[in-house]
Structure 1
């Protein structure tokens, strides 16, 4: 059994390349590179389990070097602190300085950047292990400098069982940490060794993928029936590298042996524990593998519910004698008699309170047959009419429950740490929320819950003379999402909740509680509590509300079933960017335009990514090559031709309307910038097989709400009727063509909005559409795709930054799907980090249709260059 550890989240920015040194016995020495505005470099000297020392380096050596040495093992580091801040020279958030505390009471000097007066600068953080646990390793992000830093601490009272890595010391160390369970494992071979592993972990309702090594041969998979099944045993063999793996589960299943069973055998197993994460080392192969196990949960007793039934029918004639067997516990057997003319007889064998109850109707004639009903809900009784024959028949069906207490998850509280924690538990419904406000924060909150017909009230915080505001939830409604802002205000030691709003299953928004959220700096943070029906709350408070979390009963996904993947990119990439666009032609994704710095274009190259080779190239530039490098540009594909409209450069010169023939590799100017629809940027585009549609955007003078179409056969623009004030002028909206109709989804009108409008070109009519379900909050500049009758959206900006486009605003990573027939929303699993100004399109990859997205703006105001795909398995 190896060292038990606690992985504490990294503080700092989200650029650079992730690293994870893993877990050692302790830290002996830390060397820090002090650049003139940040920590540029970090070198750590660890002691391993053999008593030898190993070093790890991150960042780039620049500036002077500072050293902090610990008298290990008699003294060890117990706290990792420092400051981080946006560094203008790099255009991203970096670690400014570091400071360490030890078990001997020592505190290191400030390592890294300080002001001219010797003081640290930036937002302070201090990370500590539980019960004074010692520092065992670091993880974080680095590139030209140290972007983020987080520690591994010894977990003194950890319930986890950590198995040390088995294998060699080659490759890079990694530790996925601990999750709720494991859903799926992919094992890939490279010759006689295992070269690739991909784990899909369960985290609440989310799937969190981690991949390691190098994918060479086609991987084999082992799927776990989570949450009803867990991996309890991991077996493998080592012959210099990992050569084989085999898994056993709580249901008694054993996987095939993946790989070649040669070399030294190892077994990870702990009674009454389940697998919750892996650690290891890898490069081109898997050098070593370790595992984290957690306590196996006690079985949850099946919930008992009062039977609610629906009486249906009877269907048939109106003769004969009426009968009604009433409601039983269930039906065991049905016998039916029929002659050549009709059903003459029926006999039902019921079960009620453990005893058989038999009822028969009609007259026995003809052939008798037995059958079992197909139960959607549970069959609990019959009614109808019978005399000489069966004149009519109807049935009682119990209502199948939507969800059960076993599906309730506890979502971690967001905000600060107040003096008093509270946990109201989970109920059947939240009926009323009362909120009291202070000068700039939420001071008081009261929840009125319902369970088994009783009302229970819980209150937290301190009432003020300002009184309270109330939000009541309807009888057939429920809260599905909470929007919470929090920040550290002057005079408070920890963050406080400053703003709350609630959304319900019927699409109703509460009034906003608290001060109007303004994103003025990175101290102001936004979190969304969502993922099903909210049935209770927890958090912390003092004289104010410091944090809030929720109990959520997840709804079953009934629309789409799919999964997120991050697409591998090989070789040189176009680089990070946002405000660009993409389109698919065959197996190639084309990308055009964008910005790296706010409001300033990058280049005018047309790039394409080949999904066969996973490499980028620059398309040939023949013909009428666009004059301007563009941001806020839009692009769609019809067949093998790309259509590019609008966008502007950093000096607000606008582009016209172009096509690019991907076969002939040639540009063509279709409409000059001064002809056709007015020049614009941050508009929306969509296409069918004959038309390119352009909606909204920001023109030279103002936002617009016009809808135009360019017919590629007639080669003419037409302008459709204006939607009027119901669909206000906007930028950053989603535009989708679904079964011949054009949908405008959300957008920005000076603030984020959540209205949806549909235009029918046949009737030339606009309709404002009301939706319900797990409806997402208002947003703009999000990713969008269409699969059948479904519109998928993901990410986007929820609140505008006070600096407008110069700042990041409040961004989200949530994904949702809208059924355009039932007008119901469902939340999908999350698969990427929060972002906005994303390039996206509908794509088919490896036989699956879904949402493809590339790049975007990060919450730190940096830019991404990753590619994600949500592939739909079934709809």
Structure 2
């Protein structure tokens, strides 16, 4: 997966809560969510034609825009990746709760609506579910949404699987396990054995081989910290599992991610006191023991965010809300986020450390890059090109200045020279002004020789900046 897209500054990534993300190869793919202050035209939902991609290797954002078949703008969907596709189910939109299943082709970034066989009833509309893929089947469990008391069999309904919300006659939590079979193209409710988890929403699910672990979530007015396991090979629920060690407090809107073949990483969420959390935990699914990771910062609360695990065992927590999402608007404004919290769970490889060192000292070592093995020199040159494109872009993340008379090679030389003067780099970042680049590029063309930044007149570098 190699998007031929222009890199975007991280400041141009819309803040969002209730979105979905998956990791495919080295890219974190982000779609959907909402932001009350983003755009009233979309009723606070993020534009559905935008798919954002974060290159976890070079730490750069890209955006793909597709106006063909696109899902309804929504938040609270569930998503998982399998093969060449990312699957997105359910959610809540300006039209209400959803029960549609879409798939995004990961090589073309084109959407496709998955249409069940005509005689197959679908799950009732819902959001805040969890989903996973196993043996050519898409599974979704739980959620919050509409309860259908009719008898026309429009939906896969088991009224007894719903727990009604006291504030609404037609909405509630459920503990349905719905399955879409891609061979028969039909939905069904899975037949299982054992004690099912209670009805819940905003919980988490992680699959380890044929076993899926369900943790937490909200059941009526209670946010849970119970742990359940579903064995997909026998379709048997474990019931609430007994765990050892100190346990995380009850929470919803958290994330859980597989960080090894038997470890699950849990971060953040919303507790029973309506406080956003910033604690990190590891569950060993073999020994069923919890361990709190106390060496990570605890001042970065997040809820209704997403988390992806890279091949370097980094957990990337993106977006979400940083304060009480249920607070009255008069008390506080919702703190939607667009930053990435990085949790490093193992040391970086020696090759990566060496590459980063070679890039950090590119002014002195750049001439020797081509003597490195091809894969390393390509990596260094690619990173430099991306950084240059970011510096050439505007604040709004638009395309590079094609009308400029400064060539890319001149930008590249100027970019390297600028790193000789930290003060100029800071000035450029603070003012976000390309005038310095244009002046230096002009000087480079005229002198046809190396430019010593310290010899440049100060007014040449800062003229036109309003100083």
Could you give the per-residue CA deviations for residues 199-235 of structure 1, whole angstroms, max 9, x where no partner exists? Answer: xxxxxxxxxxxxxxxxxxxxxxxxxxxxxxxxxxxxx
Shift of 1:684: 1.1
Q: Indicate the structure whose relative CO is greater, using CA pairs within 8 Å and at least 6 residues apart.
A: 2
Could you give the per-residue CA deviations for residues 148-171 of structure 1, whole angstroms, max 9, x where no partner exists? Answer: xxxxxxxxxxxxxxxxxxxxxxxx
Please name the residue that 1:744 is paired with.
Answer: 214
Return the alpha-carbon distance in structure 2 between the equivalents of residues 865 and 571 of structure 1: 8
Shift of 1:676: 2.5
Could you give the per-residue CA deviations for residues 649-686 of structure 1, whole angstroms, max 9, x where no partner exists? Answer: 13415251000112133211103799432221111123
**8 Å Cα contact 1:838-1:857 kept in structure 2:** yes
Task: Determine which of 629, 643, 650 is the counterpart of 2:73.
Answer: 629
2:242 is the counterpart of 1:799: no
Shift of 1:770: 1.2
**8 Å Cα contact 1:817-1:826 kept in structure 2:** yes
Please name the residue that 2:335 is paired with.
Answer: 862
Unaligned runs of 5+ in 1: 1-567, 801-808
Please name the residue that 1:669 is paired with.
Answer: 113
Task: Determine which of 100, 105, 108 is the counterpart of 1:656.
Answer: 100
Return the alpha-carbon distance in structure 2 between the equivalents of residues 859 and 723 of structure 1: 40
Please name the residue that 1:592 is paired with.
Answer: 31
Relative to the length of structure 1, the TM-score reads 0.32
**8 Å Cα contact 2:78-2:90 kept in structure 1:** yes
Aligned Cα root-mean-square deviation (Å): 2.8
Task: Report matched runs for 1:216-295 at 5 Å.
Answer: none
Return the alpha-carbon distance in structure 1 between the equivalents of residues 195 and 237 of structure 2: 11
Cα distance change on mapping 1:571 and 1:858 into 2, 3 Å: closer
Shift of 1:849: 2.7
Which structure is higher in helix share?
Answer: 2
Please name the residue that 2:355 is paired with.
Answer: none
Could you give the per-residue CA deviations for residues 407-441 of structure 1, whole angstroms, max 9, x where no partner exists? Answer: xxxxxxxxxxxxxxxxxxxxxxxxxxxxxxxxxxx
Shift of 1:642: 0.9
Please name the residue that 1:851 is paired with.
Answer: 315
Cα distance change on mapping 1:719 and 1:620 into 2, 3 Å: same
Cα distance change on mapping 1:593 and 1:756 into 2, 3 Å: same
Please name the residue that 2:407 is paired with.
Answer: none
Return the alpha-carbon distance in structure 1 between the equivalents of residues 12 and 193 of structure 2: 41
Please name the residue that 1:128 is paired with.
Answer: none
Secondary structure at 2:320 match in 1: strand
Cα distance change on mapping 1:639 and 1:668 into 2, 3 Å: same
Please name the residue that 1:838 is paired with.
Answer: 305
Task: Report matched runs for 1:55-454 at 5 Å.
Answer: none
Task: Determine which of 282, 287, 294 is the counterpart of 1:817.
Answer: 282
**8 Å Cα contact 2:18-2:33 kept in structure 1:** yes
Aligned residues: 295
Cα distance change on mapping 1:715 and 1:850 into 2, 3 Å: farther
Please name the residue that 1:761 is paired with.
Answer: 232
**8 Å Cα contact 1:622-1:665 kept in structure 2:** no
> Rg: which structure is higher?
1
Secondary structure at 1:816 match in 2: strand
Unaligned runs of 5+ in 2: 1-6, 38-42, 147-170, 325-333, 348-467
**8 Å Cα contact 1:721-1:764 kept in structure 2:** yes
**8 Å Cα contact 1:813-1:830 kept in structure 2:** no
Could you give the per-residue CA deviations for residues 389-414 of structure 1, whole angstroms, max 9, x where no partner exists? Answer: xxxxxxxxxxxxxxxxxxxxxxxxxx
Cα distance change on mapping 1:795 and 1:569 into 2, 3 Å: farther
Return the alpha-carbon distance in structure 2 between the equivalents of residues 689 and 764 of structure 1: 13
2:200 is the counterpart of 1:730: yes
Which structure is higher in strand share?
Answer: 1
Cα distance change on mapping 1:749 and 1:822 into 2, 3 Å: same
Please name the residue that 1:770 is paired with.
Answer: 242
**8 Å Cα contact 1:739-1:789 kept in structure 2:** no
Please name the residue that 1:780 is paired with.
Answer: 252
**8 Å Cα contact 1:745-1:757 kept in structure 2:** yes
Please name the residue that 1:619 is paired with.
Answer: 64
Please name the residue that 2:262 is paired with.
Answer: 789
Shift of 1:746: 0.9
Cα distance change on mapping 1:830 and 1:712 into 2, 3 Å: farther
Cα distance change on mapping 1:704 and 1:607 into 2, 3 Å: same
Please name the residue that 2:20 is paired with.
Answer: 581
